Structure 1
């Protein structure tokens, strides 16, 4: 038996669907706001760079040519001496260690690292080794800026590449002279972090901005009470914090999660003069202006000319070159750009010029000099 749905049932169905859609919209979380931890960090809590000289062994004939890289043979000689093996001076100069490569080992020692903790290391060839694939790094001390050893690295390299050569031809995928060892070093020494010193901590903003510094201080004072935070300048905020370790950690954890009011970034145009890349943020606006930009091209062609003397003249045949230089300048039409208050309008106006990225480098600088570009120009 089939049930016939009446218009009343249809209205009831659509009413339920509308209520379900409304409930789904209300349950959707609001747009994610910036948190303090995303714009600032506690001063003094940072990582430290480590570096060391090491040797990679076990290569398949792709190591350094020791006759051209004397530090490779010197390194292996010093290593063998530590193991109780002393080589004669005459044999050191004739070492042919095709399976050994001298490398530099680098790592980042994270904040609060403790002895025994494993960290990742990067290994890079410093000689003329063809490939580090399949090699193993022998025990290498990693030192900090003060010359002290903070970690020891050792392990098998992971090289994300492949290559082959023969008959003067060579094929290579990715980079073969650098690799990585996950958890390849163990921390040996603690770097003290001044987190618990004094009755206050300083927050350092990632970018200097007075508005952001003021809003960070306001958010902290609103949550923990007036006078808890004070902006010292456009980058540093001083925050009163508990002196007991557990209480201070809980305080910092809660403070970093405080939301911040979103602010409009300052208008900026970043220009990479080497690659011709141009990046504009959403605050860039354009005033009314007129632009004329023409291209200038210089062509130089060389034609060989052969001078052949007569058979009985005794002269010699000479070859000379005749150069033809042409200069061509294309006319530049005057194009009027309307005022643009949104990024999409600015992009549309610049695309209307039909200029290449290299031409836009000069055009944007000229527009800025004329006062029609409402943004800061930064050349990197």
Structure 2
């Protein structure tokens, strides 16, 4: 229920189960089956691809509509700092400190307060679905003022509210600044104005959640796909022995409650979550230009294309390599030629043999995508 209101290396991952980190300009792809190898005789191409994909629990592919986390936030004070709290330029913590003292029966003029061991902070947490009073939550504490460090501080009792303004949890405890004391970390990597309190909040109020609505359960796919949704529907109907499940948009699977589960939808969900299917794997190439990481699906195909990038020339097609490349006075230093229908795996193998740098691989893939020769979605991060 919803509440109202540079380059250091190159990584390469094959599919969902095989992967290897690539350093420098070395590419060492690993595949369960040689790229481009023909499917077994009498086996359709689609079935051959499914044979290589893993079986996955339905419970790992979907979530139940109506069961969702909710964000909580609160404003509090961190005390016990060693003179690293908010300075004179921040009046928020002074007023909050005066208000706290007033709650304890002490009326003090805020103008007289100069607490350098106190800092005003924002406290955030995530309330998971089905959380009950007494459950504990991890919280994150962030400085609001000009405090230099929250190291050694203690968060005072802070109510955490949802989007509807209601209090759902209360946080309190000693802060932990992850990595701030590790000698291996440089000073620039330490962020002393943000800390955490593991299990630092106690749930005070539960969020009402409805698993079944109007006699049906709606399963939302984490990664919407028509093929995956159809396979989920097929698996559920086979398990229940009746056409109880259907999908209309590839993102949501609706399951009507059978008579045996009218009063026990949780048991039906438990049975559905244990079913296994082979999800569809979209052809996708993910590139992180900042880190040089490239994630490739080994089933990605390449159309006939010729790419010229610096001293590297790539040609995908049945025709032999041209005697001379347009605009070039001499032959390229590295020339890669592949047959039509080649895969990304074959391309990387060839570029690996030619000692092509990671940045050049990224540029070549981007050029192929721009030319419409890469049969996959190219995502640049």
Classify the TM-score, shorter chain: 0.7 to 0.9
Kindly report which structure 2 residues correspond to 1:72-151, keeping only aligned pairs within 5 A, or say none: 72-88=93-109, 90-91=111-112, 95-151=113-169
| Partner-residue secondary structure (3-state), 2:96 | helix
Q: Gaps spanning 5+ residues in structure 1: where?
A: 1-30, 165-169, 296-328
How far is 1:336 from its partner? 3.7
Alignment partners' CA distance in 2, 1:332 and 1:145: 65
**1:163-191 CA-partner distances (Å, limit 9, x unpaired):** 69xxxxx9577432222222211112221
How far is 1:77 from its partner? 1.5
Counterpart position of 1:304: none
How far is 1:197 from its partner? 3.2
| Partner-residue secondary structure (3-state), 2:276 | coil
**Is the alpha carbon distance of 1:330 and 1:274 closer, same or farther for their aligned partners in structure 2, counting shifts above 3 Å?**
farther
**1:111-158 CA-partner distances (Å, limit 9, x unpaired):** 112222222211122222222222110011101111211111111122
How far is 1:45 from its partner? 0.8
**1:239-295 CA-partner distances (Å, limit 9, x unpaired):** 0125878621111101100111x2551211123345443321222123444332228
Quick check: 151-160 or 351-360, which moved more?
Answer: 351-360
Counterpart position of 2:273: 256
- Confirm whether residue 335 of structure 1 aligns to residue 332 of structure 2: no
Kindly report which structure 2 residues correspond to 1:306-345, keeping only aligned pairs within 5 A, or say none: 333=332, 335-339=335-339, 341-345=342-346
**1:274-329 CA-partner distances (Å, limit 9, x unpaired):** 5443321222123444332228xxxxxxxxxxxxxxxxxxxxxxxxxxxxxxxxx9
| Partner-residue secondary structure (3-state), 1:175 | coil
| Partner-residue secondary structure (3-state), 1:105 | strand
How far is 1:206 from its partner? 0.6
Alignment partners' CA distance in 1, 2:262 and 2:160: 30
Alignment partners' CA distance in 2, 1:280 and 1:181: 38
Counterpart position of 1:279: 295
Kindly report which structure 2 residues correspond to 1:355-374, keeping only aligned pairs within 5 A, or say none: 355-374=356-375
**Is the alpha carbon distance of 1:268 and 1:56 closer, same or farther for their aligned partners in structure 2, counting shifts above 3 Å?**
same
Counterpart position of 2:222: 206
Alignment partners' CA distance in 1, 2:286 and 2:189: 33
| Partner-residue secondary structure (3-state), 2:146 | coil
Alignment partners' CA distance in 2, 1:220 and 1:151: 38
- Confirm whether residue 37 of structure 1 aligns to residue 78 of structure 2: no
Counterpart position of 1:7: none
Alignment partners' CA distance in 2, 1:105 and 1:36: 35
| Partner-residue secondary structure (3-state), 2:115 | coil
Which of the pair has more CA radius of gyration?
Answer: 1
Alignment partners' CA distance in 1, 2:99 and 2:306: 71
CA contact (8 A) 1:140 1:152 kept: yes
Quick check: 267-276 or 43-52, which moved more?
Answer: 267-276
Q: TM-score, normalised by structure 2?
A: 0.72
CA contact (8 A) 1:270 1:377 kept: yes
Counterpart position of 1:60: 82
Tell me how large the CA RMSD over aligned residues is. 2.8
- Which one scores higher on RCO, CA 8 angstroms, separation ≥ 6? 2
**1:41-65 CA-partner distances (Å, limit 9, x unpaired):** 1111111110111111011222121
CA contact (8 A) 2:94 2:110 kept: no
Counterpart position of 1:158: 176
